[in-house]
Amino acid sequence: MKTSAQRIAKYNARMLSSLVDPVLSAVYQLACDSFAAHAVDFVPRQVQLRNLLNGWSIPTTDFGPYEAFHGELYHLSKVCSGAAAITSATVLVAKYVAWGLVEVNLQLIASDLYGIIVP
């Protein structure tokens, strides 16, 4: 898994390519800063998620759905909080349980990584 610094460097290199119109150069720094802030916030949580999954002895081939849940939960944590976050997280847990994931694991991910207690 790439670190946040590696992800930021790759994004910056892509943004400096000849495909980017010189007119967009003013937006370039804002985009780089925004992605850097996202990567610095998201990657440590992703590492925590993988540590949890490894601790539960979940095969790495099954990480994908858990990471998808984590991504949706991360977005949720950025757009709402409080009762709205709990209600939305409950819906997310139900969605991923229907896809075959373990409910207790999803609840632990929500509480350990984001402090959202899903009933």
Please name which of 87, 95, 89 lies closest in space to residue 107, comparing C-alpha atoms: 89
For 46-90, the pLDDT digits (tens) are 999 999 999 999 999 989 999 999 999 999 999 998 999 999 999
pTM, rounded to two decimals: 0.76
For 19-51, the pLDDT digits (tens) are 666 666 667 778 888 888 889 989 999 999 999
* pLDDT at residue 70 in the model: 95
How far is residue 31's CA from residue 16's CA, in Å, rounded to a whole number? 11
* pLDDT at residue 17 in the model: 62
Whether the pLDDT of residue 8 is over 90: the answer is: no
Confidence grade of residue 12 (pLDDT, cut at 50, 70, 90): confident
More confident residue, 16 or 99: 99
Phi and psi angles of residue 2, each rounded to the nearest 5 degrees, phi first: -75, 145
More confident residue, 104 or 1: 104
